[in-house]
Structure 1
Amino acid sequence: MPKRGYHHGNLRQALVDAALDLIEKKGPTGFTLSEAAKTAGVTPAAVYRHFEGREDLIAEAARQGYDIFADLMEYAYSKESTALAAFEATGRAYLAFARRYPGHYIAMFESGISVNRTPDLAKVSARARAVLEKAAADLSQHIPPDKRPPASMFSAHIWALSHGVVELFARNTGSQSPFPPDELLESAIGVYLRGLGLIAPDG
């Protein structure tokens, strides 16, 4: 593999970029720091000036991924004119992120790295969750308070639906579906929202 070049002073980011490539190809536990150093075009000793170990490197990749993810979710939420459209857009943004940034996605959700590993990682992951919680709160505000699910629960259900569709059908895991992932997610969200009485029944 040809060595990557990097600008002086940007070794840290070069190592993160190398790790993202390796994570995508080999999984979060399928590479060593030495391989990341080689991919970045530096000696293994250079890695330790920036990261204590592989988990620290993966945690930084996850932090950057959550930052991108939160930006995408905020954009998806803000560009729509109705609460329903904004809520549905955040679900689609989840799928779009997983497809466009597979290395980040794996570092965030499949590496076993806790979002509480560092304060920065915890902060940016909370920002992403807050977008979906706000969308859920906006959409459910007309439900009587005694029948309204907490926004955190509501959004967690949709997050779980989105994650399941991504893992089973949108990331080449071998599972086959007769429907595109986008349609699966849209219909699942529709069933959920109808159950809450937030959209009209079919027919």
Structure 2
Amino acid sequence: MTKPIAPARAKPSRKVPKPEAGYHHGELQEALIAASEAILAEQGAEGFTLREAARRAGVSPAAPSHHFGNAQGLLTEVAIRGYEALADALRDAASRKQGAREKLHAQGLAYVEFALKHPGRFQMMFANKRLVADDPRLRQASRAAGHEFEIIIAELVGGPPKQAKTAAAAAWSTVHGFAKLALEDKFGSVQSEAGYREIMTTLNHVLNYLWPASR
């Protein structure tokens, strides 16, 4: 008697991860970066979580890890873009002036304005413990922003490159320290228009004291 032939076993199907609905690869990255920047703008660096970034982007909690590795990776990308935007702001400010002193003065104003308009992003740019500090793109973006000061300082002080670097470090330290103090309401409330005007007026006095726009 012929034995019945057993039905062939179905091969186990491999589950292929599906892309997040509604997003292509690059679009999802941009959505996560935009969500992260929104959180930073509303809640500051301390209010950021990877889960909340995913929720705002409308994707699964695991999605950010697939694209950026972890929270540090995502925040590092945010910081890189922050430095790039800061470099653009400094370059644009200098391009609108003629003399080196006027350019440096304009850059100082632009630096603090950037910090006041984007406080969460600004704070994250310098929060090394929350970033991939040795990321080469992050280091390059940071140096590029600082180089905008060096270009103008070189016009102003002349001399060897080392001297220009030292003077640029002094300029950056000055406006960065002022920006940090301003964000802590030391020169007026950043939450009001009147406070903002008070801050920028004080900054103008500081810049005119250190680097007068004209002799």
**TM class by shorter-chain length?**
0.7 to 0.9
Please name the residue that 1:156 is paired with: 169
Residue 116 of structure 2 aligns with an amino acid whose one-letter code is R
Q: Do the aligned residues in 2 keep the contact of 1:83 with 1:138 (CA within 8 Å)?
A: yes
Please name the residue that 1:15 is paired with: 32
Q: Does 1:43 align with 2:60?
A: yes
Shift of 1:149: 8.0
Q: Does 1:189 align with 2:210?
A: no
Aligned match of 1:166 in 171, 179, 183?
A: 179
Q: Deviations over 1:126-179 (max 9, x none)?
A: 1111110111111112xxx59x9821221222212212222222x3x2434498
What's the secondary structure of 2:67's corresponding residue? coil
Correspondence 1:43-192 to 2 at 5 A: 43-110=60-127, 112-113=129-130, 116-141=133-158, 145=159, 150-169=163-182, 171=183, 173-177=184-188, 180-192=198-210
Residue 211 of structure 2 aligns with an amino acid whose one-letter code is L
Q: Do the aligned residues in 2 keep the contact of 1:83 with 1:135 (CA within 8 Å)?
A: yes
Q: Deviations over 1:22-44 (max 9, x none)?
A: 22333324332111111111111
Structure 1: state its 5+ residue gaps.
none
Q: Do the aligned residues in 2 keep the contact of 1:59 with 1:117 (CA within 8 Å)?
A: no
Q: Distance in 2 between matches of 1:69 and 1:175?
A: 23
Q: Distance in 2 between matches of 1:97 and 1:46?
A: 30
In the superposition, the TM-score normalised over structure 1's length comes to 0.79
In the superposition, the TM-score normalised over structure 2's length comes to 0.75
Shift of 1:97: 1.3
Aligned-CA RMSD value: 2.8
Q: Distance in 2 between matches of 1:115 and 1:125?
A: 13
Shift of 1:103: 3.2
Indicate the percent of aligned positions where both proteins have the same amino acid: 30
Q: Distance in 2 between matches of 1:62 and 1:76?
A: 21
Q: Do the aligned residues in 2 keep the contact of 1:37 with 1:44 (CA within 8 Å)?
A: yes
Residue 46 of structure 1 aligns with an amino acid whose one-letter code is A
Q: Distance in 2 between matches of 1:26 and 1:114?
A: 18
Q: Distance in 2 between matches of 1:183 and 1:156?
A: 23
Structure 2: state its 5+ residue gaps.
1-20, 189-194
Q: Distance in 2 between matches of 1:115 and 1:58?
A: 8
Q: Distance in 1 between matches of 2:117 and 2:135?
A: 25
Shift of 1:115: 7.8
Q: Distance in 1 between matches of 2:165 and 2:132?
A: 17
Number of paired residues? 187
What's the secondary structure of 2:62's corresponding residue? helix
What's the secondary structure of 2:97's corresponding residue? coil
What's the secondary structure of 2:47's corresponding residue? coil
